[in-house]
Chains A and B, each alone.
Chain A
Amino acid sequence: MKVSEAFSGLVRNQKASSAGKTLLRQVILILVAMVLTSLFLLVTGYDPFIVFKAIYKSISTDIGGTIRWMIPYGLMGLAVALTFRMNLFNMGVDGQLYLGAIGATYISMKMADAPHLVAVVATIAFAVIAGALFAVIPAVLKIRLNCDEVVVTILLNYVAYYFTDYLVLGPMLGDGTLATARSTNYTPENSWLTRLKWLGDSSANTGLFIMLAVLIGIAFIFYKTRFGYELKTCGANPRFARYGGINAGRVILAAMIISGAIAGATGAIEVMGIHHRFPIRFSNSMGNDGVVIALLASNNPFGILLTSFFFAALKNGSNIMQRIADVPSSLVDVVRGIIIFTVSARFGISWFQNRRKAKVEKAPGKEAA
């Protein structure tokens, strides 16, 4: 507490001070998770500092590769954070990403002759619509029937996986060269997102600017619009929101649609910026990463900038790690789990505080201590 006060004391402004606290909290949580990961590595007999080395290497030698991962991670984090802010759990961002990606692939094939900018805008617009529409299903079930969205969205992910499996292995299957054995054909070049050459030889692309634009847009929604206020109120105190005349159903619908739209756009960026085709099951449950990133940032859009960068460095570093120290790259998945428990432990901290309080109350004589 003392440290964070000192830290936030650096700035007089109230808002900036709370932002400082949030930032500090994130850095501490990341460090705690890293230490726990090191412990895990020590127990399993690896070099405990390898994670730190990998992240350092990933940032210092391959910033482009890190940015490549930061783009979808940031977007997925934002998509999840938008719903988490009102205590709505859109666990279906992965499925919405897949539908966006397949929509983008489909439309780009039809637009081979269009100018670059038109093709890019059209693919992303189509992906946004596909993702948003898929998110409407759980939203309507939630609003009309009060159906729990967590399980519905997770189940719908599998529907999206198999649906795209069907399209990619069926009507949209490539012409049978080795690269397209289990994917669609390559999309026409006019819809590809431009690679960022100044970041070195990597897959980092102009999707970065889309990600930053979405981030600013979400921050604007959160802090400057009525919808943002409604989101927060519905999340913090649903009863108050209802008496305050907020139509929770409308807020849920809007949140799910925007969230699905962002996830759909992520799919388009992955296809148009990285793969240039739709390989079957190309995203390795990126939705889960989004959940962890949003939780770690406590749904703060600027925090997501930091946590998605950390996660991207970790992801990019995991390949380096596997190469130099033979540490399985699936360590990243373990870190995800560890981070969730570290974040949950935040609630645990309040438990400790309550307990201490209770003890003090039980022994009134020791109150002075």
Chain B
Amino acid sequence: MSVASLNDIIATSIRIATPVTLAALGGVFCQKAHIFNIGLEGMMLAGSFAVISGQILFPGSVAAGLIFAALAGLLLSALFALAVLKFDTNQIITGIGINLLSLGLTSFLLRAVYHTQGTLRADIMTKIPTVRIPFLQGVPILGGIFGEQNLLTYIAFVMVIITALLLYKTPFGVAACAIGELPECAATAGIKPKKIGLLAILWSGLLCGVAGTYLSTVSVSGFTEDMVQGRGFTAFSALIFGNGNPFVTWAVSILFGFADALGIRVELQSSGFPSSIIKMFPYILSVAALAASCYARETARKRKKTK
């Protein structure tokens, strides 16, 4: 394979993995604090709707769109936090509730406010800009990763680092791990589990909102109903596979992106291979990743037992 085409497929994988990466990073603290947050999907959907509303209200403003998306994600995550932390509701059911509420609200508002069915576009759409780093583009692999990407993809890179720093180097990250692993010790150490849980959940809302913007402004330009298509759950399985480690989670997200990219390539070459079959890959891969991580966990547990 030539350098150009290798770089091309790496670049595509990473590009496509952006929303999944961001959403999965958002869930890192929840995963560490043992908060079962499957509302990622709904929070992403809210973000991808809100970014378009933001751009319609403030024509052509990328910043307004991003802020709207982040707020939408935060709002839903605040609702999740309120239910789960304050009222002790079942986390799985509440997560499903967030997803359904987001699906319902976006579809409802699409028709009630914008009087459209199907796809919503802003009249003046300013795409989130693509950034080019010229001197890297010729380099194999590195050029593929960093040479030319959307701004959001670079934000995702930075977020991997920031998440890792927050997780391993700040009291907040350590506290999140503590309330997940050793809740009693955490309480003894004076850690407030609700406060840490709230921050962890809000963080997931923020990042999922931003992740959603990628889908409706970069992947395609416009919001369509239920456009997240299970990427929130794909992100969730990346998260479980990485057990909350930001770097592993990131790597798995990119693997899912690679499966997607492969599909697009096959589709473009129009080899006659059915695209519906290829579109199954990321989901099958996600199930496989979940199974693999569960297998590893179970064997580790058994080994512990026999010792």
| A binding-site residues for B, Cβ under 8 Å | 44, 46, 89, 91, 141, 145-148, 150-152, 154-159, 162-163, 165-166, 169-170, 288, 291-292, 295, 327-328, 330-338, 340-341, 343-345, 347-348, 350-351
> Please, which residues of chain A bring their CB within 8 A of the CB of B108?
44, 328, 330-331, 333-334
B291 touches A145 (CB 8 A): yes
A165 to B93, CA, bound (A): 29
Contact B237 A151 (CB under 8 A): yes
Q: Do the beta carbons of A337 and B100 come within 8 Å of each other?
A: yes
Report the bound CA distance from A330 to B108 in whole Å: 5
Q: Please give me the residue from chain B that is nearest to A44 by CB atom.
A: B112
| C-alpha spacing A344/B233, complex, angstroms | 22
Residues of B within 8 Å of A154, CB to CB, are 38, 230, 233
Q: A166-B274, A343-B93, A344-B97 are in contact. Are A156 and B104 (CB under 8 A)?
A: no
Query: What are 25 A-to-B residue pairs whose CB atoms are below 8 Å?
Result: A141-B294, A147-B291, A148-B290, A151-B38, A151-B236, A156-B283, A159-B280, A165-B276, A292-B100, A328-B107, A328-B111, A330-B110, A331-B108, A333-B103, A333-B108, A337-B97, A338-B101, A340-B97, A340-B100, A341-B94, A341-B97, A344-B89, A348-B83, A350-B88, A351-B88
- Tell me the number of A-to-B contacts counted with CB atoms below 8 Å: 146
Residues of B within 8 A of A330 (CB): 104, 107-108, 110-111
Instruction: For the complex formed, measure the closest distance between the CB of A41 and the CB atoms of chain B, giving whole angstroms.
Output: 10
Given A145-B298, A146-B297, is A333 in contact with B107 using a C-beta cutoff of 8 Å? yes
0/1 string, B102-146, CB within 8 A of A gives 1 = 111101101110000000000000000000000000000000000
Bound form: Cα–Cα A328–B225 in Å: 13
Q: How far is the CA of A343 from the CA of B230 in the complex (A)?
A: 24
Contact residues of B: prevailing secondary structure: helix
Given contacts A166-B277, A340-B101, A341-B94, 18 further A-B contacts (CB under 8 A): A46-B112, A145-B298, A148-B240, A148-B290, A148-B294, A151-B240, A152-B287, A159-B280, A159-B283, A162-B276, A170-B274, A328-B110, A331-B108, A333-B104, A333-B107, A337-B98, A340-B94, A348-B89
Q: Is B279 an interface residue (CB 8 A)?
A: yes
Tell whether, in the assembled complex, residue B100 and residue A336 are in contact, meaning their CB atoms are under 8 Å apart: yes
Instruction: Select A152's contact among B83, B110, B112, B290, beta carbons within 8 Å.
Output: B290
**Most chain B beta-carbon neighbours within 10 Å: one of A46, A145, A165, A291:** A145
A276 CB to nearest B CB, Å: 23
Q: How far is the CA of A333 from the CA of B108 in the complex (A)?
A: 8
| Interface size, chain B (Cβ < 8 Å) | 47
Identify whether the interface residues of A are mostly helix, strand, loop, or mixed. Answer: helix
- Cβ of B168 within 8 Å of any chain A Cβ, yes or no, is no
Residues from chain B with Cβ under 8 Å of A292 in the complex: 100
In this complex, which of A148, A152, A336, A340 has the most chain B Cβ atoms within 10 angstroms of its Cβ?
A: A340
User: In the complex the two chains form, is A348's CB within 8 Å of B87's CB?
Assistant: yes
How far is A44 from B109 in the complex, measured between Cα atoms in Å?
Answer: 9
**Beyond A156-B287, A170-B276, A288-B100, is A344–B237 a contact (Cβ under 8 Å)?**
no
- Do the beta carbons of A166 and B233 come within 8 Å of each other? no
State whether A141 touches B291 (Cβ < 8 A). yes
* Least Cβ–Cβ distance between B283 and chain A, in angstroms: 4
Cβ contacts under 8 Å, B286 to chain A: 155
Report whether A162 and B277 are in contact in the complex, using a CB–CB cutoff of 8 Å.
Answer: yes
- Is B4 at the interface (CB under 8 A from chain A)? no
Which residue on B lies nearest to A156, using beta carbons? B287
B280 touches A163 (CB 8 A): yes
